[in-house]
Chains A and B, each alone.
Chain A
Amino acid sequence: MKHLPKHLQPRYRYLAVALEAWPDTDVDRSSLETRLRRSARDLLGDVGVAATDLSIVRFDYADGRGSAIVRTRRESVTETRAAIACVSTLEGAPIGLYVAGISGTVRACSEKYIGERPEPVTERNVVYGSAERTAWCRDDRVDIRTDGAFLGATNLDLE
């Protein structure tokens, strides 16, 4: 089908979203997109989801850190932002999403708000609470494996 003339094309906004999760959590593009849609449906209803018209246009994630660009209609930026903020788990695993900025084009969005890929995570043993534990470290942030769960910490917390 012939596409719409420029002045009739919908206006979009692109939201740069930073992702954070525990290092063993797997996040992929389609599960995140499904989750965002579900969150939007729970919060805004079917009509609201249709109005936001949201989709993920860029996605990058590895070992607990990542970024995504979410496209939405210009008129529904606030609703989409709220739907993103309401996502706290992905397939049962905790996940943190944070809207870093909003732009009118994908390129401006990724240049302005999505930085370099985060440095790779390193696994090492650390001492926390006078016990030695396995931890995943990146810059000064450390995710420590405790009995069956993770503890978010920084280098300052280590002994």
Chain B
Amino acid sequence: MFEAVHVAPEGQSTLARVAATAADHGFEGLVVRNHGDRPAAPPPDELLDQSDVDLVAGVEIRAEDPSRASGFLGSHRPETTIVLVHGGDPAINAFAVRQEAVDVLAHPMAGDGDLNHVLVRQAAENGVRLEFDLSTAMRSVGNDRSRAIRKLRKLAELVEKFHVPYVVSGDPWSHLQLRSPRDLRSVAEAIGLAPAMVETGLAEWGRLAERNRDRMDESFIAPGVRKRPGDEP
């Protein structure tokens, strides 16, 4: 199971520290999801060699409007394994679900964000994963939390009805905010989501990383089509 994290300088811990804590908590891997304007500090080489967890390069594109988001998408896609779009704005949500190049629409229900049957269907067609972001449900109280939980439950109903792929994350910004898969499962159960969704959603990050690494491989042409070694370029 994987978790997607913000690391220094955006978060309060370095990737190495979060990776050490993630290994203690039984995670198999981490996806770095720093926003595009505050990329993660380059990890030390030793970390990549000896880390107990798989480290996946990712980016969360944050833009004010779809046209700028489209520009960022073009520049990040070729070199980043997992590309997320910072959702929560109706225009950005609508943009992201139409883009095959987007892997994950992050926290689509945050703020003013919302989804309906049309957008969710488009997400399923284009293979855009919708994120269940448990951070507001875990780390806020009162009306904010109630609203977040209500929207997560709505998202769960839509996802189930239209068979949309999804990911789950606690969206930690430091090693102290990281929670283990079983703890996240309990939280999901307490707020009325199916606990099995958490396992599926955490594992989906790993599947996505594997698929995209394969696609970024030189021999890949299209799904099912590969260059053989020695073929003319």
Contact = CB atoms under 8 A, between A and B. Distances in A.
Contacts of A21: 176
B65 interface: no
B134 to A, nearest CB: 9
Given A84-B183, A85-B184, A141-B20, A42 B141 contact: yes
Contact of A94 (B25, B174, B180): B174
Contacts of B21: 20, 96
A79 B190 contact: yes
B187 interface: yes
Given A78-B190, A141-B17, A151-B13, A156 B46 contact: yes
Nearest to A44: B190
Contacts, number: 93
A53 B44 CA distance: 46
B52 to A, nearest CB: 12
B183 A151 contact: no
A153 interface: yes
B145 A42 contact: yes
B12 A99 contact: no
Contact of A152 (B176, B180, B186): B176
B138 interface: yes
A98 B14 contact: no
Nearest to A25: B176
B69 interface: no
A151 B14 contact: yes
Interface in A59-98: 78-79, 81-86, 88, 94-96, 98
Contact of A150 (B12, B139, B183, B186): B12
Interface string B41-65: 0001011000000000000000000
Interface in B139-178: 139, 141-142, 145, 174-178
A41 to B, nearest CB: 10
Interface size class of A (residues with CB under 8 A): 20 to 34
Interface residues of B, number: 34
B167 to A, nearest CB: 18
Contacts of B12: 94, 149-152
Given A152-B12, A152-B14, A94 B20 contact: no
B interface SS class? helix
Contact of B138 (A86, A149, A151): A86
A129 B13 CA distance: 14
Interface in B190-216: 190-191
B8 interface: yes
Contacts of A149: 12
Interface string A118-147: 000000000000000000000011100000
B182 interface: yes
B173 to A, nearest CB: 9
Given A81-B182, A156-B44, A95 B16 contact: no
B14 A154 contact: yes
B39 to A, nearest CB: 15
Contact of A98 (B138, B179, B187, B190): B179
A42 B183 CA distance: 17
B189 interface: yes
A22 to B, nearest CB: 8
Given A20-B176, A94-B12, 7 more contacts: A85-B183, A99-B182, A151-B8, A153-B14, A154-B14, A156-B44, A157-B14
The 3 residue pairs across chains A and B that have the minimum distance between CB atoms: A152-B13, A96-B176, A82-B190
